[in-house]
Every structure is written in structure tokens, then in C-alpha cells.
């Protein structure tokens, strides 16, 4: 098969490429250029957004090593419009955005594939180094998105916005592997330098105020009774459930961010128990499995990438879905994604709009 592989220059995308090459497929590597040259955002530190010349050069060396073609595709304008603009608008409204979700659906599995085709590069499938699985349900006539077998590396959470049209042309070669197993294989094949490359940890590994610029304004921190108990250095530095940077002294117990009021530029802080909520409203939904088929099932919702999935009930509402957890959840943050699972099958997800006790 003719397969195009998204190469970031990192270990996972290299191993995806290597596996496909060793299976005898006709493989081409493509690398996205996402940085627009903004010198104020010049800190890299293994982030997606920042100077990417080194990553592009490393991806080129990988393709030379594997003797396959390589293309660099400039998507910096699209990234700035659809990812950075979204990120700024969400933080300015007091929400906690998830740029990786938007980047995957809009950029990596959207504009990138369109650009590849416009260049006349024919392919049967597009592959990446994500730890997730895609299977075809012949009975229902649709594709399913499942968790990667390595539960510590599973990245399906970031992929919940993929559509059937996208899923049918995507491969995740690493979905059935454990990362440790792949590291061992890489070392055994002599790819020592690649195996030791640091992983990307965030979309931007520096102070978010560099990106948000004019949105950063100091303001008051209030307690639950509305009393001013401190000041914050800009709401962009905070998310629901955070304790760091509050710098509140003289309290009987630790305080955490309970609520962010962007309109008043205020943060409400309180004891940890006030973070516990049983309900959330989610909007902007995408269902890989129709909700009509799973609304009576026992579902598990994940409110952040690294949180433990929690059993819940999902009810349709005119403006989204109401999610009721069987036990209260801590740190439900508007703007983050809530993703629903039926066992290891990702059935859909949406953006958290609000939470309540």
C-alpha cells in the first residue's frame, strides 16, 4: 500500500514509519511546519509550537535513513488561525482550552491531508505515531476508535473529534504496542539516538503569557464569600483545581482555584472539597458511535487526558448533553474536553461548558 506518515522527528512517529517500511509498504514521510517565525515564541523545549528547524532536519535524516521520500508542508498560517486563535480566545474567556484536540482534527487530519493531495501525492492511508487503534465494525458498517493497548500511553482522548471519513483513511501502527517494547526494538536495531530523543510535552513549553500578550492582566482572588484574599498575575496562568501561583498565606487549609470569572478578571478560590462536582454540561459534540446506541449503556467519562475515567450517565439536552457522575469528580474545567468510553471503545466527546454540584 502507499502510505504517508506524519513525521514529527520524534521517536513515536519514527517507529510508526519504521514498522510500515519493514512490512514492505510504499512509505512517504511528511513533516508539518507549524511555527510562523514569531520571535516572541522562540522557546522550543520539545513543544509543538516554536522553532521547528531542528525537528524538520531530524525528520529528514530519518527518511534518508529509511530511504523514503520526505516532504515539508507549511501549515503555519492554518495553525495560527485555527489553533493559536482558538487558544487565545478560550483563555481570554476564562476557560481551559485543549489545543491538541483542535490540532489533530483541524490540522493534522484535516489541512495536512488536503495539502498532501494538492501536491499530487497519492496515498491509500495516512499514518501517525499515536497510541490508539482503529477497527472496522462490519456489522454496523463503521469504523471504531479504541484505546491503545499501552494504557500508560493511550492517546485516543485527543482524537475524539475524528469523523468516519477521516478514520477510514488513517492507520495507527503503534496502537497494539507498548512503548517499552518499541524502545527495546529500537535499541536492538541500533537506533540509539532516536530512542533517547525527548518527547514533546505540550503544544508550547513556556509561559503562556508570551502567546496571550495583551490578555494578561493582574486581578483579584476572592474567597467563596466574595472577600478579596489576594491577587493573581493573569487568569491565563490558572485552571480549575490549581493551587500553584495562588500564593495565599495565612489560611487554615490549602486553597484551590474553584472558579474563573473572565468578565471581572477574578479568580474564586476555596478548600479542595468545593472542587467536587457531580454534573457537567458539554457542547460541541462529536459522536463516533451514535448516542442513540449507547445512551442506555454504562459509559465512562474522562475529563482530562491523564484523569481516571469515571462512570457516568449521559442525557441529551437541547444545547448539548448533561453528564451525571456516579461519584463527584474533582477539577471539572470549562473549555477542556470530556470524552466518553464504552469499555475501550471511544464513542464520542465534547467541550465542557459548565459544571455543578
**Which active-site residues does the annotation give?**
103, 205
Listing DSSP states for 84-143 in one string gives: IHHHHHHHHTT----HHHHIIIIIIIIIHHHHHHHTT---SEEE---SEEEEEETTTTEE
Sequence-distant (6+) residues with CB within 8 A of 186 are 11, 14, 15, 18, 192, 194, 195
For every residue of 275-286, which 3-state class applies, written as one string?
A: HEEEEEEEEEEE
**Which residue, 350, 356, 351, 319, is CA-closest to 335?**
351
Q: How far apart, in whole angstroms, are the C-alpha atoms of residue 19 and residue 71?
A: 19
Sign of CA dihedral 236, 51, 122, 14: negative
Contact 350, 285 (CB under 8 A): yes
CA 45, CA 189: separation in Å to the nearest integer? 27
Q: How far apart are CA 138 and CA 109, in angstroms?
A: 24
Rg (CA), the chain: 22
Q: Dihedral through CA 147, CA 150, CA 151, CA 155, nearest 10?
A: -50
Residue 293's nearest CA partner among 136, 139, 159 is: 139
- C-alpha cell of residue 231: 491577587
Amino acid at each position: 500500500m502507499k502510505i504517508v506518515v506524519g513525521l514529527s522527528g520524534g521517536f513515536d512517529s519514527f517507529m510508526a514509519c519504521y514498522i510500515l517500511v519493514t512490512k514492505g509498504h510504499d512509505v512517504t514521510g511528511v513533516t508539518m511546519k507549524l511555527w510562523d517565525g514569531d520571535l516572541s515564541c522562540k522557546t522550543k523545549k520539545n513543544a509543538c509550537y516554536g522553532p521547528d528547524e531542528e525537528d524538520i532536519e531530524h525528520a529528514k535524516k530519518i527518511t534518508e535513513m529509511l530511504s523514503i521520500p520526505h516532504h515539508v508542508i507549511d501549515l503555519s498560517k492554518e495553525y495560527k488561525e485555527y489553533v493559536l486563535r482558538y487558544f487565545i480566545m478560550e483563555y481570554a474567556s476564562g476557560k481551559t482550552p485543549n489545543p491538541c484536540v483542535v490540532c489533530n482534527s483541524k490540522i493534522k487530519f484535516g489541512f495536512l491531508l488536503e495539502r498532501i493531495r494538492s501536491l499530487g501525492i497519492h496515498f491509500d492511508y495516512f499514518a501517525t505515531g499515536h497510541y490508539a487503534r482503529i477497527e472496522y465494525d462490519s456489522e454496523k458498517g463503521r469504523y471504531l476508535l479504541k484505546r491503545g493497548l499501552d494504557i500508560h500511553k493511550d492517546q485516543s482522548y485527543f482524537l475524539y473529534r475524528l469523523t468516519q471519513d477521516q478514520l477510514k483513511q488513517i492507520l495507527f501502527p503503534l496502537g497494539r504496542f507498548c512503548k517499552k517494547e518499541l524502545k527495546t526494538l529500537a535499541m536492538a536495531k541500533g537506533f540509539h539516538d532516536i530512542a533517547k530523543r525527548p518527547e514533546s510535552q505540550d503544544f508550547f513549553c513556556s509561559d503562556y503569557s508570551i502567546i496571550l500578550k495583551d490578555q494578561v492582566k493582574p486581578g483579584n482572588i476572592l474567597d467563596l464569600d466574595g472577600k478579596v484574599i489576594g491577587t493573581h498575575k493573569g487568569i491565563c496562568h490558572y485552571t480549575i483545581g490549581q493551587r500553584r501561583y495562588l500564593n495565599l498565606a495565612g489560611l487554615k487549609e490549602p486553597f484551590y482555584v474553584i472558579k474563573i470569572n473572565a468578565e471581572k478578571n477574578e479568580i474564586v478560590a476555596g478548600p479542595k472539597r468545593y472542587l467536587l462536582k457531580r454534573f457537567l454540561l458539554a457542547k460541541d459534540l462529536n459522536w463516533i458511535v451514535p448516542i442513540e446506541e449507547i445512551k442506555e449503556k454504562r459509559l465512562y467519562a474522562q475529563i482530562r487526558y491523564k484523569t481516571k475515567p469515571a462512570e457516568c450517565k449521559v442525557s441529551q439536552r437541547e444545547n448539548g448533553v448533561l453528564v451525571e457522575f456516579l461519584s463527584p469528580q474533582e477539577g471539572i474545567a470549562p473549555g477542556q474536553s470530556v470524552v466518553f468510553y464504552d469499555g475501550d471503545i471511544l464513542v464520542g466527546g465534547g467541550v465542557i461548558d459548565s459544571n455543578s454540584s
